Amino acid sequence: MSRIIIVSNRTPGKGPAAGGLAVALRDTLAAREGFWFGWSGKLVDEPSPKAKFDSIDGLSVAQVDLTREDYQAYYAGFSNSILWPSFHLRLDLATIEAHWYEGYRRVNTQFARALLPLLKPDDIIWVHDYHLIPLASELRQLGARNRIGFYLHIPFPTSDALYAIPHHQELMRDLSRYDLVGMQANRDVTAFTEFAEHQAPSTLAGSPLKSVDFGRTEVAAFPIGSDPDAFARLAASPAAIKMIKRMERSLNGQQLILGVDRLDYSKGLPQRVEAYEKLLANNTRFRREVHMLQVAPPSRDSIKEYKQTSDELDAICGRVMGRFAEPDWQPLTYVKRAYGQPSLAGLYRLARVGLVTPLRDGMNLVAHEYIGAQDPADPGVLILSRFAGAAEIFEDAILVNPFDTDETAEALRMALDMDLPERQRRWQRLMKAAKKHNVEDWSKAFLDRLAPASTAGTGTRDI
Ligand code: G6P
């Protein structure tokens, strides 16, 4: 059976914080003698052209270092100051320095050169996320004939936002060098198709895009999931129970409203706290009866727009505290640090409301994990943004427009007032959907489509 090679900017980390993706792919990689390839997280003056192998919690990982200059242009620059905001439709937060593209390309070339000597002809390569769109092109230029798939974990932008990205034609051409391109949601495939089929030929007449043949590249939705049963087990683990006990003591009977997000402007954190503020302002009966906890580990803090979001959140949380706190009651707690999955599972289980309101999100796995961790006898309520890919799956959440803080405040009221039978009914259907869209089936579906048993390893694609 062909080996599977996973490539992503970051390789999985050690310990209990390891993401669901790493956990899900660990067995596949072990069974098929594959490995995970990516950046080591280290910045050095002169990176070795060769990748170094390591074993991280039983996963075989090959890593390369980057120079500080390339990190700036490729990671902080093109990937996270141009692609990330544009793909999330936040052109107002994009910083466009066209020269970052050279660094982005350079790192993709560096990855391809370090990966190529490690490949066998029938290896199946699965590339993840927006940092590495050109990787298949680079590998094919070096002669790789393997089946190569790409998965975009973030939303695909509308045509207008795509046009705002320097070198977007090349990026589209790069996507056409993959055998399979996977996206999170139907809306992403629709946006892609609209650009590729209708707008591109007329608007970009004479550009290289005219020769792009998407006919050979399949583009399809593969909504990622979590392992909800594992989250249910985790929520009953000693670490989770310890967290639940700590929280129960401090909550003293108040109902918990919980948000867990990287501190990123796409997550809609200021709007979320504003909605909570409106809940307290409009419904005095909830004061002293509820508590909001927002866990927001800092992210990409070398980028100005992230610092601004963090400052904005500090200000709005301070405002809500000043407006509603009393000497013996605080309306909210805001924690800027990361927790391991067992502690998070405990928090999810305790929370009466899971508040997942990104302004735009590829999928949002917090929604999946929150559902997995609930107590079937007394489940909480999921409030979910319509603009998360997860909204295509979880119709039984309370769906909200996160820009409309009145609507979110009303959803909070509904969730807090919801009776037990209704909570159970909704949760049972949500759990069924979470199980149906689990991460193991997701990776299997993608890999089966990328390399069905009959074609795996034939290496027949033209260069
Ligand atoms: C999102 C992206 C991932 C990325 C993660 C953390 O989930 O889709 O590709 O790894 O954020 O961001 P960071 O910049 O810290 O890797």
Q: CA 166, CA 161: separation in Å to the nearest integer?
A: 11
Domain limits of the chain? 4-225+443-450, 228-437
Q: Which of 8, 150, 299, 439 to mutate to test the pocket of ligand 1 (most atoms within 8 A of CB)?
A: 299
| Better-scored residue on pLDDT, 210 or 415 | 415
Identify whether the C-beta of residue 93 lies closer than 8 Å to the C-beta of residue 161. Answer: no
**What's the rounded mean pLDDT across residues 247-273?**
98
Task: Render pLDDT for 379-438 as a digit per residue (tens, 0 to 9).
Answer: 999 999 999 999 999 999 999 999 999 999 999 999 999 999 999 999 999 999 999 999
CA angle 43/46/50 to nearest 5° reads 95
Q: Report the CATH number of the 4-225+443-450 domain.
A: 3.40.50.2000
Residue 461 has pLDDT above 50, yes or no: no
Residue nearest to atom 4 of ligand 1 (CA): 10
In this predicted structure, what is the pLDDT of residue 18?
A: 57
Q: CA 397, CA 429: separation in Å to the nearest integer?
A: 9
Residue 364 has pLDDT above 60, yes or no: yes
What number is the ipTM of this complex?
0.99
In this predicted structure, what is the pLDDT of residue 202?
A: 44
**pTM of whole model > 0.90?**
yes
Ligand 1 mean position, distance from CA 418 (Å): 35
Q: Which atom of ligand 1 is nearest to the CA of 153?
A: 8
In this predicted structure, what is the pLDDT of residue 463?
A: 36
Q: Is 153 in the pocket of ligand 1 (CB under 6 A)?
A: yes
Q: Which atom of ligand 1 is nearest to the CA of 75?
A: 14
Are 4-225+443-450 and 228-437 the same fold in CATH?
yes
Q: Report the CATH number of the 228-437 domain.
A: 3.40.50.2000
Ligand 1 mean position, distance from CA 76 (Å): 12
Q: CA 81, CA 97: separation in Å to the nearest integer?
A: 9
Residue 205 has pLDDT above 50, yes or no: no
Q: Please state at what angle helix 341-350 crosses helix 238-251, rounded to 10 degrees.
A: 40
